[in-house]
Chain A
Amino acid sequence: MTTAGASAQAAIAALTAAADDPDAYVAEWKQRTGRKAFGVFPMNFPAEIVHAGGALPVLLQENREPDSLGRNLLAEFYCGYTRNIADQAAKGTLAGYDGFFLADHCTQLLGAVDVVRSEVPDTPVYFGQLPTSLTDSWTPERARLMMRSFVDEMERLRGEPVTDAELAHSIAVFNENRRLLRELFAARRAGNAALSSSQVQALVKSSMVMDKQVHSVLLREVIDGLAQVPRDGRIRLHLSGHLCHAPRPELLATIEECGALVVDDDLFTGRRYIATDVDEQGDPVAALAQRYLDRDATLPCPTRVKHESDWEDELVRAVESSGAEGVIVLMVRFCEPHMLYYPELRKRLNERGIPHLLLETEHEGLPVETVQTRVEALLERIRRTSATHRTLEVTR
Chain B
Amino acid sequence: MTAAATDKLSRLAINKAGGTMVADYWEDVFLARERGQKVVWYNGSALNPIFQAAGMAWCHGEAFSARLAAQHLEGPAQLAGSEYGYVGELCSYARTHLGCAVLSQKRSAGSGNGPGMVGLPEQEELASRLPTPDVFVNAYAGCSTGQQWDDISFRVFGKDVPIFNVSMPFLWSNRPGEGYMVGEEWETSSRYVADQLRELIPFLESITGRPFDWDAYRQNMAYIKKASELRQEAMKLCRHLPAPATFWDWIGNVAHINFLPANQQLVDFYTAVLAEVKQRVADGEGSVTSERYRVYFDGFMNWNHLGLLSRKFASHDVAVVAGRYTHHAFWQEPQLIDPDGDPLLGQAQNNLLCPMNHSTRTIQDLVLRDSEFYGVDGIVFHSTRTCRAFTNPQRIIAKAAHEKAGLATMFFEGDIADASFYKDEILESRLAAMLEGIDVRRARA
Give the B-binding residues of A (Cβ under 8 A).
72-75, 77-78, 105-108, 110-111, 114-115, 117-118, 126-127, 129, 131-133, 136-139, 142, 153, 302-303, 305, 307, 331, 333-334, 336-337, 339-344, 346-347
A77 and B388 contacting across the interface, CB-CB below 8 Å? yes
Residues of A within 8 A of B361 (CB): 114, 117
Find the B residue at minimum CB distance from A106: B144
Residues of B within 8 A of A127 (CB): 170, 172, 174
A337 and B144 contacting across the interface, CB-CB below 8 Å? yes
Contact with A along B46-86 (1 / 0, CB 8 A): 00000000000000000000000000000000000000111
- Shortest Cβ gap from B176 to chain A (Å): 11
Residues of A within 8 A of B170 (CB): 105, 110, 127, 129
Residues of B within 8 A of A142 (CB): 167, 192
In the complex the two chains form, what is the Cα distance from A302 to B174 in whole Å?
Answer: 27
Residues of B within 8 A of A347 (CB): 85
In the complex the two chains form, what is the Cα distance from A133 to B196 in whole Å?
Answer: 12
Contact with A along B125-161 (1 / 0, CB 8 A): 0000000000000000011110111011011000100
A131 and B167 contacting across the interface, CB-CB below 8 Å? yes
Q: Which residues B60-118 have CB closer than 8 A to chain A? A: 84-87, 89-91, 94
| Contact pick for A340, options B90, B172, B199, B360, CB 8 Å | B90
A-B CB pair tally, cutoff 8 Å = 123
- Shortest Cβ gap from A26 to chain B (Å): 24
11 A-B pairs with CB atoms under 8 Å apart are A74-B395, A75-B383, A78-B388, A107-B145, A110-B359, A111-B391, A114-B360, A118-B396, A138-B196, A305-B147, A336-B388
| Contact pick for B396, options A115, A303, A333, A346, CB 8 Å | A115
Find the B residue at minimum CB distance from A77: B385
Q: Is B389 an interface residue (CB 8 A)?
A: yes
Residues of A within 8 A of B144 (CB): 105-107, 132, 303, 336-337
In the complex the two chains form, what is the Cα distance from A126 to B174 in whole Å?
Answer: 6
- Shortest Cβ gap from A304 to chain B (Å): 9
- Shortest Cβ gap from A310 to chain B (Å): 8
Residues of B within 8 A of A132 (CB): 144, 147, 167
Q: Is B121 an interface residue (CB 8 A)?
A: no
Find the A residue at minimum CB distance from B146: A107
In the complex the two chains form, what is the Cα distance from A307 to B163 in whole Å?
Answer: 10
Find the B residue at minimum CB distance from A338: B87
A333 and B167 contacting across the interface, CB-CB below 8 Å? no
Find the B residue at minimum CB distance from A341: B152
In the complex the two chains form, what is the Cα distance from A115 to B393 in whole Å?
Answer: 8
A105-B170, A136-B167 as given contacts; A339 in contact with B396, CB under 8 Å: no
Q: A305-B148, A340-B149, A344-B155 are in contact. List 18 more A-B contacts (CB 8 A).
A: A73-B396, A75-B388, A77-B385, A77-B386, A77-B388, A107-B142, A110-B170, A111-B391, A114-B392, A117-B361, A118-B396, A127-B172, A132-B167, A133-B167, A307-B154, A336-B145, A340-B148, A347-B85
In the complex the two chains form, what is the Cα distance from A343 to B170 in whole Å?
Answer: 28
- Shortest Cβ gap from A120 to chain B (Å): 13
B154 and A336 contacting across the interface, CB-CB below 8 Å? no
- Shortest Cβ gap from B27 to chain A (Å): 30
A108 and B388 contacting across the interface, CB-CB below 8 Å? yes
- Shortest Cβ gap from B427 to chain A (Å): 16
A111 and B89 contacting across the interface, CB-CB below 8 Å? no
- Shortest Cβ gap from A300 to chain B (Å): 11
In the complex the two chains form, what is the Cα distance from A281 to B106 in whole Å?
Answer: 51
B159 and A118 contacting across the interface, CB-CB below 8 Å? no
- Shortest Cβ gap from A376 to chain B (Å): 23
Q: Is B289 an interface residue (CB 8 A)?
A: no
Q: Which residues B154-195 have CB closer than 8 A to chain A? A: 154-155, 159, 163, 165, 167, 169-170, 172, 174, 192, 195
